[in-house]
Amino acid sequence: MDNQHTPAINQRYGSLQRVAPGVLGLPTLIVNVYFVGDADGWVLVDAGISRFAGNIRKAAEQVFGLGARPKAIVLTHGHFDHVGSLEALLKVWDVPVYAHKLEIPYLTGMSSYPPPDPTVGGGAMASMSRVFPTKPLNLGSRVKSFPLIGELPEMPGWEIIHTPGHAPGHVSFFRRRDGVLIAGDAFVTTNQESFWSVVSRKREIHRPPAYFTQDWAAAHRSVQHLANLEPSVVATGHGLPMRGEEMRAALHHLAKNFQQEAIPAKGRYVAHPALFNEAGVDYVPPAAPDPLPKVLAGVALATLVGVAAYALIKRNRKHNELKPMGTRTVYYDPEPPHYRTEEKSSTHIPRVRRITRPEY
């Protein structure tokens, strides 16, 4: 685990990324999960998007050995892209799940998350957030709250830091002895609103994914808190790990200029945040004006008009087509005068036909 080179697994299952001693990251399409620990005991941080349970298990077995399973699964928060493979993993791994108490309603069927805000802009991912799921899982008694103070026994040496804003019970994990920070989506290392940035995984310290951030003032305080930790390396929910002085300078820049550069100019949660309690969502502000439904309605109307016009033109063409007048068929007859002709429609085919000449 301390090898300075990045260990790799079969490309079919993705690539493991070495973050720090005892910390490996695995991308699940658009979001990362992390293996924290060693063969004597490890935890899985987050569970990625759906249909990646097999990839996660195979990666774990390659690192920790055949049949490896974690002591626990710990969640930075419960958004769909961080818990998508959780239920499938729990069918194989009988382990506890831990989350902040303010995330429990979204993991026990009590409450859905507030709707995303696609009007914040930033790129195609923000536009696609209109269809991102917000319904809760129902893990029942399998999910537990993090301890209010101290460490999680299954994750020794890591501080649990409440970093709300992107989600009410969002947490980050910090290993103080070497400055390793697993930040979840409190901030990320790519522009998650941009499809091309997500695909290219271009490294940059960036605000939390804006379309799911529902309390911008809290998000700002969380970034300030994490910047003040002066981490040596950061591993986030989206993007590649970053380290060193350049990373710290960019993180401090984000914290200092969050109001001007990170908070969207407009959006549903910009002026008024969503409010939460231990039962779930308490208040959601009215939706911001969204021009896309009107655009889609216009596109749909134009499409219908186009289809109707095409059908009308096609019908008229069919009606006005020149139809064949028929054929003249010449038959041989053994009796004089030996040849006779017979007019038939173009759809009639005589049984014995000697010569057929089209007539126009």
More confident residue, 42 or 356: 42
- Shared domain for 30 and 130, answered yes or no, is yes
Query: Is 122 contained in some domain?
Result: yes
Q: Residue 219 has which token pair?
A: 């998000």
More confident residue, 320 or 298: 320
pLDDT, tens digit (0-9, with 9 covering 90-100), for 250-302: 999 999 999 999 999 999 999 999 999 999 999 999 998 887 764 543 444 44
Closest Cα to residue 165, out of 248, 263, 83, 234?
A: 263
Q: Tell me how far apart the alpha carbons of residues 290 and 25 are, in angstroms, rounded to a whole number.
A: 36
Confidence of residue 338 (pLDDT cuts 50, 70, 90): low
Confidence of residue 4 (pLDDT cuts 50, 70, 90): very low
pLDDT, tens digit (0-9, with 9 covering 90-100), for 79-114: 999 999 999 999 999 999 999 999 999 999 999 999
Residue-averaged pLDDT of the chain: 85
Question: Are the C-beta atoms of residues 193 and 126 closer than 8 Å to each other?
Answer: yes
Helix intervals (H) in the chain: 53-64, 80-83, 86-90, 124-128, 195-200, 216-228, 244-256, 291-320
* Mean pLDDT for the stretch of residues 316-320: 56
- The reported pLDDT for the residue numbered 110 is 98
- How far from chain centre, in Å, is Cα 202? 17
Its domain, for residue 121, covers 11-289
Query: Is 322 contained in some domain?
Result: no
- Shared domain for 207 and 346, answered yes or no, is no
Question: Are the C-beta atoms of residues 51 and 85 closer than 8 Å to each other?
Answer: yes
Kindly state the helix (H) or strand (E) to which residue 233 belongs, with its residue range: strand 233-236
Strand order through the sheet with 339-344: 339-344, 327-332, 355-358
Q: What is the CATH number of the domain that holds 55?
A: 3.60.15.10
Question: Are the C-beta atoms of residues 186 and 146 closer than 8 Å to each other?
Answer: no
pLDDT, tens digit (0-9, with 9 covering 90-100), for 131-189: 999 999 999 999 999 998 888 999 999 999 999 999 999 999 999 999 999 999 999 99
- The reported pLDDT for the residue numbered 265 is 94
Q: Tell me how far apart the alpha carbons of residues 307 and 309 are, in angstroms, rounded to a whole number.
A: 5
Q: What SS3 state is found at 143?
A: strand
- Shared domain for 299 and 242, answered yes or no, is no
Which residues have a Cβ under 8 Å from the Cβ of 10 and sit 6 or more positions away? 58, 62
- Shared domain for 205 and 109, answered yes or no, is yes
- Shared domain for 77 and 142, answered yes or no, is yes
* Mean pLDDT for the stretch of residues 15-21: 93
Q: Tell me how far apart the alpha carbons of residues 89 and 56 are, in angstroms, rounded to a whole number.
A: 9
- Shared domain for 163 and 32, answered yes or no, is yes
Query: Is 6 contained in some domain?
Result: no
- Shared domain for 125 and 151, answered yes or no, is yes
DSSP per-residue codes, 264-282:
-SS-TTTSS--EEETTEEE
Q: Do you know the residue count of the chain?
A: 360
Confidence of residue 313 (pLDDT cuts 50, 70, 90): low
Confidence of residue 194 (pLDDT cuts 50, 70, 90): confident
Query: Is 4 contained in some domain?
Result: no
Q: Tell me how far apart the alpha carbons of residues 133 and 78 are, in angstroms, rounded to a whole number.
A: 11
Residue bearing tokens 């729990």: 90
Please determine, for residue 30, whether its predicted confidence score (pLDDT) is greater than 70.
yes
pTM: 0.79
Q: Residue 109 has which token pair?
A: 């069927």
Q: What SS3 state is found at 186?
A: coil
- Shared domain for 243 and 303, answered yes or no, is no
Query: Is 1 contained in some domain?
Result: no
- The reported pLDDT for the residue numbered 317 is 63
- Shared domain for 352 and 247, answered yes or no, is no
Confidence of residue 334 (pLDDT cuts 50, 70, 90): low
| Count of domains for the chain | 3
- Shared domain for 258 and 131, answered yes or no, is yes
Confidence of residue 343 (pLDDT cuts 50, 70, 90): low
Query: Is 3 contained in some domain?
Result: no
Confidence of residue 323 (pLDDT cuts 50, 70, 90): very low
Q: Tell me how far apart the alpha carbons of residues 249 and 255 are, in angstroms, rounded to a whole number.
A: 10
Q: Tell me how far apart the alpha carbons of residues 158 and 174 are, in angstroms, rounded to a whole number.
A: 5
- Shared domain for 198 and 335, answered yes or no, is no
Query: Is 50 contained in some domain?
Result: yes
- How far from chain centre, in Å, is Cα 14? 17
Q: Residue 316 has which token pair?
A: 């008229």
Query: Is 197 contained in some domain?
Result: yes
- Shared domain for 62 and 140, answered yes or no, is yes
Q: Tell me how far apart the alpha carbons of residues 159 and 30 are, in angstroms, rounded to a whole number.
A: 26
